[in-house]
């Protein structure tokens, strides 16, 4: 598996993967706007073709894991974990001390993945994610503290 840092030209690929993973997918323009925004970092995992992505945003020494998805056929093969681990080391090299994320309380697979990589639950937002014909679901806020390292180039 290859994991590469995405460029603006990868917006269509990420949009396609995102649409395959989420009910409300991001358009190519949404992804391009994200990639062009300050502090944006995106990784794409590929086997024979792109199978997964992770998007994050870095502000000073904090980062947010904004979105991650692996296409159905590529799941349960370690792609998600590899993406989060690569993101973690990339952010660590850039001087990030803590990574936050929000995950729906009913997303057991994502919560298990984040837990495996070292994220811990830090708070909960009630009724955060709307659900069609059902009560909104809480968001769990998770954090991962990274050991201090001088940012590369400093
Ligand atoms: C969450 C997601 C990214 C996981 O990707 P993946 O490539 O299948 O994950 P991995 O194969 O690296 O799994 C790593 C660990 O996560 C957990 N996990 C992953 N899928 C799981 C599932 N369906 N059920 C339970 N645990 C699961 C397991 O602990 C797994 O380790 P194991 O295989 O050794 O048991 C993928 O299921 C996905 O794209 N889901 C839809 C989008 C989404 O919900 N994104 C997160 C939004 S916050």
Segment 26-55 shows an average pLDDT of 97
How many angstroms does the Cα of residue 57 sit away from the middle of ligand 1?
A: 21
Work out the pLDDT band at 152, boundaries 50, 70, 90. low
pTM for the predicted model, two decimal places:
0.95
**pLDDT tens digits for 20-38?**
999 999 999 999 999 999 9
Spell out the domain ranges in the chain: 2-145
Q: How far apart are CA 102 and CA 143, in angstroms?
A: 9
Best CA proximity match to 55, nearest among 46, 19, 23, 63: 63
Q: Which CATH class is domain 2-145?
A: alpha beta
State yes or no: pLDDT of 139 exceeds 80: yes
State yes or no: pLDDT of 137 exceeds 80: yes
For ligand 1, residues with CB inside 6 Å are 21, 68-70, 75-81, 103, 107-110, 112-113, 116
How many angstroms does the Cα of residue 75 sit away from the middle of ligand 1?
A: 7
Instruction: Output the CA torsion 38→85→113→34 (10° steps).
Output: 20
State yes or no: pLDDT of 138 exceeds 70: yes
């Amino acid at each position: 598996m290859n994991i590469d840092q995405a460029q603006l030209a990868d917006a269509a690929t990420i949009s396609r993967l995102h649409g395959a993973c989420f009910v409300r997918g991001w358009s190519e323009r949404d992804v391009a706007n994200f990639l062009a925004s300050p502090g944006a970092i995106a990784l794409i995992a590929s086997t024979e073709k792109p199978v997964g992505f992770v998007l994050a945003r870095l502000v000073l020494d904090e980062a947010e894991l904004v979105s991650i998805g692996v296409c159905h056929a590529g799941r349960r093969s370690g792609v998600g974990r590899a993406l989060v681990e690569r993101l973690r080391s990339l952010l660590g090299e850039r001087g990030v001390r803590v990574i936050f994320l929000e995950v729906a309380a009913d997303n057991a697979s994502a919560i298990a993945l984040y837990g495996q990589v070292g994220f811990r639950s830090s708070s909960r937002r009630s009724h955060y994610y709307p659900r069609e014909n059902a009560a909104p679901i809480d968001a769990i806020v998770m954090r991962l503290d990274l050991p201090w390292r001088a940012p590369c180039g400093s």
